[in-house]
Amino acid sequence: MILDMRPACSYTDFFVICTGRNARQTKAIWDEVHERLKHDERLLPKHVEGERDGGWIVADYLDTVLHVFTPESRDYYRLEELWGDVPSVAVEAATATA
């Protein structure tokens, strides 16, 4: 899910929200996103929280904030409902390929 935050706040343009099945998978998702952005775009986050626990990993890239949740954390924090008045785009779930 991508939330267009531009109408609602001044500190970022987009929230990218995704979910892993468990903390191990959220860490793997974060690792992959981080490595690709670092390698392909030469882009590093300004701040990252939650890597150790893995329930909710937040990476601040200034214009975009990445949120990687476990299902339980996503249900608890419900960012889509909290920011329900901003435009959103549902993105089809990605699957790992071997």
Q: Where are the alpha helices (DSSP H) in the chain?
A: 23-40, 71-77, 79-82
The label of the residue with tokens 């476990």 reads 70
Fold of the domain spanning 2-89: Beta Polymerase; domain 2 (3.30.460)
CA gap 46, 66 in Å, rounded? 12
Q: How confident is the model at residue 44 (pLDDT cuts 50, 70, 90)?
A: very high
pLDDT tens-digit map of 53-93? 999 999 999 999 999 999 999 999 999 899 989 988 888 77
What is the average pLDDT value for the chain, to the nearest integer? 93
Compute and round to an integer the Cα radius of gyration of the chain.
13
